[in-house]
Structure 1
Amino acid sequence: MQALHDVVRAGYVRYIGMSSCYAWQFHAMQNYAIANKLTPFISMQNHYSLVYREEEHEMLPTLKYFGVGSIPWSPLARGLLTRPLTEKTARGNTDLLIGRYLGGAGTEEIVRRVEEVAKKHGISMAQVSVAWTLSKHEVTAPIVGTTSLKNLEDIIEGAKVTLTPEEIKYLEEPYKPQEIIGHS
């Protein structure tokens, strides 16, 4: 934490954040910074999407406690939440990590429900997924990746979509807790 503080004091960066850890690790480091009058974290890059919500148990409440923003990575679950399950892509066929999502109980039903809500609104599944992510008050902004400008423009439109509380509940309902993904 001292080294990160020194980088801020030297003017190389304005703020610091942390990525993909357990809540207890974040809590310990944040408390250390505060207790020693060092620069605290202002953000957490964490793994969070409709098909991976383990951060809700401990990390998101911890971030709220410290007033730290969440900027989740993979809110589209490596593209899984952007198209129907029957639609195959080269990446979907070769990306081994997508299989970890598909192994989760409830994942396929969540993807089907995202498709259903998207059709109801006349928007893309990516927009529904981004809208859901942004509906969480702990989320400052999602980190998205894409292979084309067209896809990026579509994803950005998701920021304009507001889901009803009933739609949010409907999308979340099939989720089942799973093992931690993304912490090394």
Structure 2
Amino acid sequence: MEYLALGNTGLYVSRLCLGTMTFGKNTLYNPIGSLEEKEVKQLVDRAFDVGINFFDTANLYAMGESEKLLGKAIGKRREEAVIATKLYNPFTNDMNSLGTSRKAIMREVEASLKRLNTDYIDLYQVHSWDPTTPLEETLSGLDDLVRSGKVRYIGLSNFTGWQIAKAHGISEAKGFHKFISAQSHYSLVGRELEYEVLPAVRDLKMGVMVWSPLASGFLTGKYTGENAEKGRRSHFSFPPIELEQGDKVVEILKEIASTHQATPAQIALAWLLHRKGITSIIIGVRRIDQFEDNIGSVKIKLSSEELEQLNAVSQPKTPFMYMDFSLQRGQTLHERITQMKSH
């Protein structure tokens, strides 16, 4: 396993992070996972065995059951683990149970600490932008958690570029602890964050955690052709995919996989591991064989030609304001500028 510092900190995390959205039974989450205690322990034990020290959960997952199962599975290995969890989404119909107000932050951190059976959280993340709460209030509350020792670092999830920049600016001006990481959707069929989010986090020296790197299994190849309407995505088609381009991406993945004696999923994950600025990829699995397949991606080294193939076939339609007509096919603007500066 390889490790990188998470953002501009001394906290080192594994390049693969075990996601826990599949942990626990709940009506909403049953199509996603519904793993029980024995299965969870098997996955967490195996994660430690292969060197994974990073675990991501949220108060929302299986209505808190995910945090409980993760805490129990980690057990006495707490100091070996880097635990990330999130707040934002509500458990009840109470109007103050939603969002990132000071009241919600203080209540939810105590509940997560209890469920995880720990006295501190390594990375406490805002699950989404809250348009109803002043950002200063959110950041002040999170800063208090870090100063109290209940939280070591804070992160954000699903923010846009301008929201990330605004949060950083307020923290800088007020002397608050800053967000050290961004958790975002990124995959070969979902590259939108390359326009705003990645440039922002690179500039601010933040870490990046990728969720749904296989687009809910689409990039494994099992949802193309005659199997398009089967499996998990038939019940929970998220994140959305442009299917015509997606099928072309999977075709190239299969071709490259055959030369590496690998699977399409491993190549898709390896592509992300080769991307500049990506710290850790969150893998969420339902079975141990899926986990074993995913961890094989760390050993795969893609050639420049293979990376160019994948970049080209997955390139999204570029909004006009981001167009640079000097770019070579498959390049991002950041890559072009870096290339020009090197000459």
TM-score by length of 2: 0.49
Unaligned runs of 5+ in 1: 180-184
Report how far residue 87 of structure 1 moved: 6.4
Aligned length: 177
Once the 2 structures are TM-superposed, how far is the Cα of residue 178 of structure 1 from its aligned partner?
7.8
Distance in 1 of aligned mates of 2:284 and 2:316: 25
Counterpart residue number, 2:169: 31
Is the 2:215–2:238 Cα contact (8 Å) retained in structure 1? no
- Determine helix, strand or coil for the equivalent of 1:101: coil
Residue 214 of structure 2 corresponds to 76
SS at match of 2:216: helix
1:35-71 CA distances to partner (integer Å, 9 max, x unpaired)?
2111001110001001100111111111011000110
Counterpart residue number, 1:46: 184
- Asked if 1:97 corresponds to 2:235, the answer is no
> In the alignment, which residue of structure 1 is the partner of 2:25?
none
Corresponding position of 2:334: none
**Larger strand proportion of the pair:** 2
SS at match of 2:280: coil
Return closer, same or farther for 1:82/1:44 CA change in 2, 3 Å cut-off.
same
Percentage of identical aligned residues? 34
1:29 Cα shift?
Answer: 0.4
TM-score, scaled relative to structure 1: 0.90
- The CA distance in 2 between the partners of 1:155 and 1:96, in whole Å, is 21
User: What is aligned with 2:146?
Assistant: 8
Offset of 1:10 from its aligned partner? 0.6
Among 197, 203, 215, the residue aligned to 1:65? 203
State the match for 2:159 in structure 1: 21
Instruction: Give, in whole Å, the separation in 2 of the partners of 1:52 and 1:118.
Output: 20
Q: Do 1:106 and 1:176's aligned partners in 2 also have CA atoms closer than 8 Å?
A: no
Secondary structure of residue in 2 paired with 1:106: helix
Does the 8 Å CA contact 2:186/2:212 hold for their aligned counterparts? yes
- How far is the alpha carbon of 1:92 from its aligned partner? 3.2
- The secondary structure found in structure 2 opposite 1:132 is helix
Q: Runs of 4 or more off by more than 3 Å in structure 1?
A: none
**What pairs with 1:27-176 in structure 2 (closer than 5 Å)?**
27-84=165-222, 85-86=224-225, 88=227, 89-97=230-238, 100-103=240-243, 106-174=245-313, 175-176=315-316
Q: What SS is found at the alignment partner of 2:210?
A: coil
State whether residues 110 and 172 of structure 1, in contact with CA within 8 Å, keep that contact through their aligned partners in structure 2: no
Determine if contact 2:187/2:212 at 8 Å carries over to the other structure.
yes
Change (3 A) 1:178 1:46: farther
The structure that has the greater radius of gyration is 2
In the TM superposition, what is the alpha-carbon distance from 1:15 to its structure 2 partner?
Answer: 0.5
Cα-Cα RMSD? 1.7
CA distance in 2, matches of 1:63, 1:51: 21
Letter in 1 for 2:317: P
Structure with greater contact order relative to length (CA < 8 Å, sep ≥ 6): 1
SS at match of 1:72: strand
Instruction: Kindly indicate whether the alpha-carbon contact (under 8 Å) linking 2:184 and 2:209 is maintained by their aligned counterparts in 1.
Output: yes
Distance 1:12 1:164 in 2: 44
